[in-house]
Amino acid sequence: MRGWRQFLVLTLTSLALAASDATWTSPATGLSLPLTILAPTSPASPGALLPVVFYLENLAAPRVGTDSDEAIIRDLRAAGHLVVVLDYAHHSRARTPTLEQDLVALRRQLQQKSLLAGQPIDPAHLFIVPSGHRLLRDVVSYRDDARTLALDLIYPSHPARPVGAVLEFSCDNANRMGNFSLDFCTDTLLPIAASEGLAVAMADHPVAAPYQGLDPMPDSARKAKAAVRTLRAVGSALGLNGRIVPAGFSRGSGMALLLATTLDHPEFDGFGEHPGIDSRVQGAVVMSGRFTYLDLRPDDKMIPRYEKAWGTRSDHRDIWRAHGALDYLTHPTVPLFLTINVTESPDALHQMDVLKRRLQELSSPFECQPELEPRGHRMPLDPAVLVPLHRYLQGQLHATDHLETIHPARP
């Protein structure tokens, strides 16, 4: 009897929510879009917060996944997600570089609790999934005595052709999909890349909370490469082509660069859940961050913290060098995409200048698109940056005849 009562309550709640005639004002299109809230169909524990999936239907970009929306939404609900469906009716502005406006607005309204007010939502698990994509959560990449690292993967379900993946390292050391950090950083990179037909994954930052601005080596490199290998191993069964471009902003930027500068450093391989898989990447999106500790501004406020952790730079230069992603770069690497806001801190602007200068000295290919709109320490929203950024991702992640699909590690 108790089971039937729970089933009846859940069913009635689901029907009530699904039948609600709600709309949401889209900044990108200027229209009021139909919004449907669908409760999970698996019972949650009493008082538990619900993970939320915003499922974006009928976008302007071509749909790559071939599974139906009905099947995907059914499975999301069965897995315990509250699903919020937005129907864009193929509006021409429902893709990059304008759809980003809506993603920022959704996260901001959720953070301000002006959207889904009264719903028991989990702010650490808010996902934006485009039509035709599925969500695979908590894919473990690395385990040690203190912590288990994982990633969340959004991928086109049974894609018409194999696709590449963008791997971002979270700026939230406690909750990789925490809405606060994604809202604060205006981070739209992964859901937009997914809406353009790619697979995307958010990985735990190698350093556990609380973050102190230090990325211990070699531990950080081992964990970052473990995330790449895990994504490649899991993706091989999901229609991915094995090509991966890491991306990072702020504390995640050094991790993305590290993967591009340590392609030929086997000492960081062989760790994590899939030690036999290749850890090479096919590019990197590097935004504002720290890349070397051997070339800092004299007034950099972090120098005392580095000295406390590593000793003075003059006496322990090798230690300082070992912690800088850029200082592993001794010859040309994969093409990089660089971007930074022109009103970033002087320290961050200096680091980007040092990175560009090193790449130029080595004749290593890169594209740099600074964001001119004064927004400070934020990820870009300017179409002048977004258009070339997503063009770069498509170019690096599309397998061609002369750049074959990546398979398990080289002998």
Cα-Cα-Cα-Cα dihedral sign, residues 258, 263, 264, 265? positive
What residues in the chain have per-residue pLDDT under 70?
1-21, 399-411
Same domain, 188 and 82: no
pLDDT at res. 254: 97
Same domain, 148 and 58: no
pLDDT at res. 5: 40
pLDDT at res. 43: 82
Instruction: Write out pLDDT tens, residues 79-122.
Output: 999 999 999 999 999 999 999 999 999 999 999 999 999 899 99
Please give the tally of structural domains in the chain.
2
Same domain, 59 and 35: yes
- Tell me if 406 is assigned to some domain: no
- Tell me if 364 is assigned to some domain: yes
- Tell me if 169 is assigned to some domain: yes
Q: How far apart are CA 2 and CA 224, in angstroms?
A: 47
- Tell me if 210 is assigned to some domain: yes
- Tell me if 404 is assigned to some domain: no
pLDDT at res. 118: 86
Domain boundary among 127, 161, 191: 127
Same domain, 103 and 166: no
Same domain, 22 and 160: no
Spatial contact of 56 and 129, defined as CB atoms under 8 Å apart: yes
H, E, C per residue of the chain: CHHHHHHHHHHHHHHHHHHCCEEEECCCCCCEEEEEEECCCCCCCCCCCEEEEEEEECCCCCCCECCCHHHHHHHHHHCCCEEEEEECCCCCCCCCCCCHHHHHHHHHHHHCCCCCCCCCEEEEEEEEEECCEEEEEEEEEEECCCCEEEEEEEEECCECCCEEEEEEECCCCCCCECHHHHHHCCCCHHHHHHHCCCEEEEECCCCCCCCCCCCCCCHHHHHHHHHHHHHHHHHCCCCEEEEEEEEECHHHHHHHHHHHHCCCCHHHCCCCCCCCCCCCCCCEEECCCCCCCCCCCCCCCCHHHHHHHHCCCCCCHHHHHHCCHHHHCCCCCCCEEECCECCCCHHHHHHHHHHHHHHHHHCCCEEECCECCCCCCCCCCCHHHHHHHHHHHHHHHCCECCECCCCCCCC
Q: How far apart are CA 43 and CA 56, in angstroms?
A: 24
Same domain, 96 and 144: no
Same domain, 90 and 179: no
Same domain, 119 and 149: no
CATH of the domain at 378: 3.40.50.1820
- Tell me if 99 is assigned to some domain: yes
Same domain, 176 and 98: no
- Tell me if 1 is assigned to some domain: no
Domain boundary among 108, 127, 146: 127
Domain boundary among 61, 94, 127: 127
pLDDT at res. 146: 87
Instruction: Write out pLDDT tens, residues 195-240.
Output: 999 999 999 999 999 999 999 999 999 999 999 999 999 999 999 9
Q: Structure pTM?
A: 0.91
State how beta strands 199-203 and 148-156 pair.
antiparallel
Same domain, 168 and 259: yes
**Burial class of residue 210 in the structure, from the number of CB atoms within 10 Å of its CB (0-12 exposed, 13-18 middle, 19+ buried):** exposed
What angle (nearest 5°) sits at the alpha carbon of residue 217, between those of residues 211 and 222? Answer: 100
pLDDT at res. 400: 59
- Tell me if 402 is assigned to some domain: no
Residue type present at position 378? R
Q: In which domain, by residue range, is 391 found? A: 133-397
Same domain, 197 and 111: no
In angstroms, the Cα distances linking 294 to 10, 322, 372 are: 59, 10, 28
pLDDT at res. 404: 41
CA atoms within 13 A of residue 232's CA, in its CB half-sphere: 28
Residue 199, beta-bridge partner list: 165
Length of the chain, please? 411
Same domain, 112 and 150: no
